[in-house]
Chain A
Amino acid sequence: MLNFLRTIGRYFLAFLNATGAFFLFAFISVSHCFRPPFYFRQWGRQFFEIGYLSLPVVGLTAIFTGMVLVLQSYTGFSRFSAESSIATVVVLSMTRELGPVLAGLMVAGRIGASIAAEIGTMRVTEQIDALSTLSTNPFKYLIVPRLWAGVIMLPLLVLTADAIGVFGGYLVATYKLGFNAAIYINQTFTYLKAEDVNSGLIKAAVFGFIITLSGSYAGFNSKGGAQGVGAATTSAVVSASILILICNYLLTAILFGT
């Protein structure tokens, strides 16, 4: 019995320890985000890598999501002659939910992994120590540019994803299901409010922060050579994905709570 309690206690303490370390890391990182010096060349590289190079993956995800949404809602809505609501359903699901969450998850896989692998390799090859000995703060040089790029580029990616997703839906609705193009477009925008799009962008910014922070944290604390970097990469993607799903629920509850 005592052994059992001891095991629970040990895991609980380890959990608290890890959570504390993560929040401390987040706090230190954020505090560096607003204090100079800023390494704008590094910022540029990260903006390009996180924003521009994620476009194909996010765009492809968005267009197929929009297309399948139309097919699925058509199957359901045609049973009670509510086909006219399809355009609204597509645009609201894209902007409020699927755009940010799917783009977030795709970017978590792409960027979270690459950040963890790059920073993790720098850690195990002592490049992070080398930065410190060359009068450079590793947080400012490595982590701050990635955090800013995540927080700024993810909303832009999601905005693009929203547009591409709606366009995908439009293609299927007009070419495959024979909707009238003008009416479909009109229906798309009739019930769309600014807050639908905005709430998705707020989510995206939070997800961008979560992805880049998880990647940086896992990479920064990796140890033990190639295996350690591999473990860091996995943990970055898994923790970012789980945190995205949890925060998505919390944010939805807060943003649409009343």
Chain B
Amino acid sequence: MSQKISSPIEKIRLEGLEKSFGTKTVLTGVDLVLNKGESLVVIGGSGSGKSVLLKCILGLLKPTSGKIFIDGKDIFSLSNSEKEASISQIGMLFQGGALFDSLKVWENVAFGLRQRFGTPAKEARNIALEKLNAVGLSESVADLMPSELSGGMQKRVGLARAIATNPAILFFDEPTTGLDPIMRTVIDSLIVKCVKDLGAAAITITHDLTSAYHIADKIAMLYEGKIIWLGDSKGIEKSKNPYLNQFIHGSMEGPIPVNIKP
């Protein structure tokens, strides 16, 4: 770790990011910096705006106000093609995998390569097999359809697809939700390995704390559309922040209201 501290290269910076849907405000001013080689985990309850945060950076949602910088460039001041180029260096693993169910597994993994670089089919297939191998899947799944795979395998194919173009930034949306405990550890380890191999900057959103400790260099907690705590993953237990404490201990007592009838 010590050799990296020299001068961190900034990949993503968010300034005062706000997003509302109609009268409902989801993000109320998020400030965040992510450096190269850094793995940030954003934790927070359901509906705290974690997914919306990632979708704003990916350009899938337009923020109400605030700025997003990728590689130091404000993406809203760029032309469409420059903006696309900035965003296309982000690889994303979606919550449900979001595999294209009309395409075979290898075509899914090779999709970004073929679309972005126009890689010929044969070469793209070889890279796809290599990436499937990297996430622990054998060549025999390459010609199956995504619906023929189990949930854990689909997640791994999604991961292979996210890293296929060797992206400089990786996003993971609840990578371990709905998996058994062993598969969670497998996915967590794969994420750590992929991020390290690519030297990428990564943002993971999750409410699974075991996986957060495993993946994170830094942890941020999102509550009511703001980041209320940010620190390294070792400091989290010692924190005095009452919101964070309630969340990590899963307690019903505390400042976060629990909306259930007694």
Q: Does A125 contact B (CB under 8 A)?
A: yes
A122 and B91 alpha carbons, distance in the complex (Å): 19
In the complex, what's the smallest C-beta–C-beta distance from A36 to chain B, in angstroms?
Answer: 13
Contact partner, A129, options B98, B99, B111, B161, Cβ 8 Å: B98
Q: Choose among B90, B94, B95, B116 the residue with the greatest number of A CB atoms under 10 Å from its CB.
A: B94
| Residues in A neighbouring B94, C-beta threshold 8 A | 126, 129-130
Q: Which residues in B have their C-beta under 8 angstroms from that of A131?
A: 100
Q: Check: B115 CB closer than 8 A to any chain A CB.
A: yes
Q: Which residue of B lies closest to A127 (CB)?
A: B98
- Answer yes or no: B92 CB below 8 A from chain A CBs: yes
| Residues B116 and A135 in contact, CB atoms below 8 Å apart | yes
A126 to B, closest residue via Cβ: B98
- B37 → chain A closest CB, angstroms: 21
Q: How far is the CA of A127 from the CA of B100 in the complex (A)?
A: 6
In the assembled complex, how far is the CB of residue B56 from the closest CB belonging to chain A, in whole angstroms? Answer: 12
Chain B, 28-39, contact with A by CB distance < 8 Å: what is the 0/1 string? 000000000000
Least CB separation from A129: chain B residue: B60
Closest Cβ of chain B to A33, distance in Å, is 18
Q: How far is the CB of A224 from chain B (nearest CB, A)?
A: 14
Taking a contact as CB atoms under 8 Å apart, the answer to whether A125 and B98 are in contact is: yes
Instruction: Say whether, besides A129-B55, A129-B58, A129-B60, A134 and B96 are in contact (CB < 8 Å).
Output: no
Residue from B55, B96, B111, B112 in contact with A125 in the complex, judged by beta carbons closer than 8 Å: B96
**Number of A interface residues in the complex (CB < 8 A):** 12
Query: How far apart sit A107 and B21, CA to CA, in the bound complex (Å)?
Result: 36
Q: Decide: B112 and A135 in contact? CB cutoff 8 A.
A: yes
A127 to B92, CA, bound (A): 12
Q: How far is it, in angstroms, between the C-alpha of A134 and the C-alpha of B100 when the chains are bound?
A: 12
The docked-state distance in angstroms from the alpha carbon of A122 to that of B161 is: 17
Does more than half of chain A's interface fall in helix, strand or loop, or is it mixed? helix
Question: CB of B254 within 8 A of chain A?
Answer: no
Q: Mark A116-140, 1 if CB is under 8 A from B, else 0.
A: 0000001001110111111110000
Chain B window 50-61, contacts with chain A (Cβ cutoff 8 Å), 1 for yes, 0 for no: 000001001110
Q: Which residue of A lies closest to B85 (CB)?
A: A135
**B92 to A130, Cβ gap below 8 A?**
yes
Q: How far is the CA of A130 from the CA of B112 in the complex (A)?
A: 10
Contact yes or no, B112 A132, CB < 8 A: no
Question: Which of chain B's residues has its CB closest to A37's CB?
Answer: B115
Partner of B91 from A132, A133, A136 at Cβ < 8 Å: A133
A132 to B100, CA, bound (A): 12
- Nearest first, the 5 A-B pairs at minimum CB distance are A126-B98, A135-B116, A134-B112, A130-B98, A133-B92
**B interface residue numbers (CB < 8 A to A):** 55, 58-60, 84, 87-88, 90-92, 94-96, 98-101, 111-112, 115-116, 161
- Residue pairs across A and B with Cβ atoms less than 8 A apart, 23 shown, are A125-B98, A126-B98, A129-B55, A129-B58, A129-B60, A130-B98, A130-B99, A130-B100, A132-B59, A133-B58, A133-B87, A133-B88, A133-B90, A133-B91, A133-B92, A134-B112, A134-B115, A134-B161, A135-B84, A135-B88, A135-B112, A135-B116, A136-B111
